[in-house]
């Protein structure tokens, strides 16, 4: 709307979702050459299981290099390694393009200042968190699970688990 208002000659081009899905499927196929455990989450987000890859990739640099080569440069891959998908997702989200962020040790310090908007929950519940004054995962993690679940239902329980 703003682009059309500012640039009247702008033309809206609808997203070619089938094309995007085919491109993503191709990336997933390439990633399966690196690890047999590949899971395509949302469009543009993939998880790789790293267990057992030590014999193929002697160090982390060679593994991340293989992943980088499997993804066309135009996509500026961001990689994250951590225990669990959510933490790995956040590590990737907050890494530089083409880089890999490894999270181990004091993960709570990393999570403390991350916005609740990064949570994989409904927009409605994200808004409620902000309305309650809970803007970061660190703030959400300080609450016992009961009140979160009472206010936000099943997602409240999940929020508490992910924030902790």
> With left for phi above 0 and alpha for psi between -120 and 50, is residue 136 left, alpha or beta?
beta
Q: How confident is the model at residue 130 (pLDDT cuts 50, 70, 90)?
A: very high
What pTM value is reported for the model?
Answer: 0.80
Q: How confident is the model at residue 16 (pLDDT cuts 50, 70, 90)?
A: very high
Per-residue pLDDT for 13 more than 80?
Answer: yes
**40 beta partners:** 46
pLDDT digits (tens, 9 = 90+) for 19-61: 999 999 999 999 999 999 999 988 999 999 998 888 899 998 8
Show Cβ contacts of residue 50 under 8 Å, excluding neighbours closer than 6 positions: 35, 63, 81
Show Cβ contacts of residue 160 under 8 Å, excluding neighbours closer than 6 positions: 140, 141, 143, 144, 145, 148, 149
As a whole number, mean pLDDT of residues 133-162 equals 89
């Amino acid at each position: 709307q703003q682009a059309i208002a500012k640039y009247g000659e702008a033309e809206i081009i609808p997203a070619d979702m089938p094309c995007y899905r085919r491109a993503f499927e191709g990336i997933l196929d390439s990633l399966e050459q690196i690890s047999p455990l590949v899971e395509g989450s949302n469009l543009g987000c993939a998880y790789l299981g790293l267990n057992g890859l030590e014999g193929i990739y002697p160090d982390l640099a060679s593994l991340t290099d293989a992943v980088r080569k499997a993804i066309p440069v135009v996509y500026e891959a961001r990689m994250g390694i951590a225990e669990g998908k959510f933490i790995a997702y956040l590590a990737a989200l907050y890494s530089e393009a083409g880089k890999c962020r490894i999270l181990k040790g004091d993960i709570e310090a990393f999570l403390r200042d991350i916005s609740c908007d990064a949570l994989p929950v409904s927009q409605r519940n994200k808004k409620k968190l902000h309305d309650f004054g809970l803007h970061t995962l660190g703030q959400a993690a300080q609450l016992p699970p009961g009140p979160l679940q009472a206010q936000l239902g099943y997602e409240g329980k999940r929020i508490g688990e992910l924030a902790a």
